[in-house]
Amino acid sequence: MVGAYQSSELTPLFVFDANERDTLTREAAGIRSILADSPSAASAVMLGGGYFTPLTGFMNKTDALSVAESMRTGDGLFWPVPVLNRIAENPRVDSGDRFAILDPEVDGNPLLAVQTVEAVEELTEDECQFIAQKVFGTNDEEHPGVQTFLNQGRFIISGDIQVLNYSYFETEFPETYKTAYQIRDEIKQRGWNKVVAFQTRNPMHRAHEELCKIALERTESDGVVIHMLLGKLKPGDIPAKVRDDSIRKMVELYFPENTVIISGYGFDMLYAGPREAVLHAIFRQNLGAAYMIVGRDHAGVGDYYGAFDAQEIFRSDVPAGILEIEIFEADHTAWSNKLNQVVMMREAPNHQKEDFVLLSGTRVREMLSAGEDLPPEFSRPEVAKILMDYYQTV
């Protein structure tokens, strides 16, 4: 199993000691509290679970601008996106103060974490636009990630945090949500040495299934970690519960026993394309994966990124040796009518587009909404049934 990213060991910021958690909870009742927004709360959850190792908390303005510009913090840590605690109004706290971070996603806004203030700083409009352009490659507010980013508060509170729970992810997805350290433990328990990870924010059709099997075989890995995003998505994306059910059914019926860990992580989708692909690689190294599959339009949205920009960034912008995890570069994958199997399209010579079974996302949604069966070459029928049941309720 590979080591943690830029650290001798994983550094989850969750407070494991029950007595210490009780002490912090009592302390939080007597100090200032601030309601986080969804992206900031999700980042706290990721810090707690060890996915953001070696970070110890939220970045300051200097680090945020430096990361946007060069993918380096002020002290030289390679990191692809700013990790910020942003609020709409000046919190009126000083350096050294401690305050309670409240969870915006759970009824009653319970205590999520306690933060020690390094600094409170305000991002200007120009600085927000600069960060958006660098991270997302665009300032277009039709881009869902840019829209979310530019609508967040301008005040940022930097400093170390202590995380006390994992928000709604543990309760809503008790079998699926796993921290980086929990996945590392499961890999050890299964006796696996080498693992390949697959990122998904969508249901998995046959192309995704076969891509995982291809990567498993070619990397000579012991298992694949199917790692689904459980946080906020853009309108129109399929809810996490439906994706979870469909993926579980696919693994149950179509993967050999003890070759898959089904898991999810508590983060909001950024839709940042290449930059987010690098962040995903850090997540997967921290959970112990030796390889991560990066295919066509990884973490992309619309036409904002080239089909394989998320592969190119690892060659052009990620310094050699900085990541221990390796990228398994995949092409668009589809059923070949000529070969009667799912293949990566670049590995299928003498094929025309019509030789593949290809359906757009729009066409898939139309068919499922109308109760039409998807071609079995495109989707396993048991998976399609779960998706059809969902689409006929929306």
Q: What is the CATH number of the domain that holds 32?
A: 3.10.400.10
Instruction: Give residue 117's pLDDT.
Output: 98
Task: Work out how many domains the chain is built from and give that number.
Answer: 2
Encode pLDDT of 293-328 as tens digits. Answer: 999 999 999 999 999 999 999 999 999 999 999 999
Active site residues: 201-202
The CATH number covering residue 289 comes to: 3.40.50.620
Whether 57 and 192 map to the same domain: the answer is no
Residues 125 and 71 both lie in one domain = yes
Phi/psi for 221 (5° steps) reads -85, 160
Indicate whether 88 belongs to any domain: yes
- Whether residue 254 is found in the same domain as residue 387: yes
The answer to whether position 93 is within a domain reads yes
Residues 257 and 300 in one domain: yes
Boundary (domain end) residue, out of 133, 167, 201: 167
36 located within any domain? yes
Q: 47 with 135, same domain?
A: yes
Distance separating alpha carbons of residues 236 and 324, to the nearest angstrom: 35
**What pLDDT score was predicted for residue 393?**
86
- What confidence tens digit (pLDDT) does each residue in 1-59 have? 999 999 999 999 999 999 999 999 999 999 999 999 999 999 999 999 999 999 999 99
The SS3 assignment for 21 reads: helix
pTM score, whole prediction: 0.95
Span 242-265, average pLDDT: 96
Q: Average pLDDT of 274-279?
A: 98
Query: What is the pLDDT confidence band of residue 361, given thresholds at 50, 70 and 90?
Result: confident
The token pair that represents 235 in the structure block: 């309108």
pLDDT digits (tens, 9 = 90+) for 68-102: 999 999 999 999 999 999 999 999 999 999 999 99
The reply to whether 112 and 158 lie within a common domain is yes
What is the phi/psi pair of residue 186, to 5°?
-70, -40
Decide if 25 is inside a domain.
Answer: yes
Residue 1 lies in a domain: no
Q: Are residues 42 and 110 in the same domain?
A: yes
Reading the block at residue 334, the tokens are 């589809």
Q: Does residue 11 fall inside a structural domain?
A: no
Residues 99 and 187 in one domain: no
Structure confidence at residue 236 (pLDDT): 79
135 and 230 together in one domain: no
Same domain, 286 and 151: no
Same domain, residue pair 91 and 222: no
| 8 lies in some domain | no
Angle 206-209-212 (CA atoms, 0-180°, nearest 5)? 150
Of 136, 167, 198, the position where a domain reaches its end is 167
What is the domain range of residue 109?
Answer: 18-167
Tens of pLDDT, residue by residue over 155-209, are 999 999 999 999 999 999 999 999 999 999 999 999 999 999 999 998 999 999 9
Torsion of CA 325, 289, 304, 131, to 10 degrees: -70
User: What is the C-alpha separation between 174 and 176, in angstroms, rounded?
Assistant: 6
Q: Select from 148, 167, 186 the last residue of a domain.
A: 167
Same domain, 179 and 157: no
pLDDT tens per residue across span 102-135: 999 999 999 999 999 999 999 999 999 999 999 9
In a domain, 224, yes or no: yes
Q: What does each C-alpha distance from 80 to 40, 69, 136, 385 come to in angstroms?
A: 16, 10, 11, 38
Q: How far apart are CA 272 and CA 294, in angstroms?
A: 14
Task: State pLDDT tens for residues 374-387.
Answer: 999 999 999 999 99
For the cut 90, the answer to whether the pLDDT of residue 237 exceeds it is: no
Residue 93 pLDDT: 94
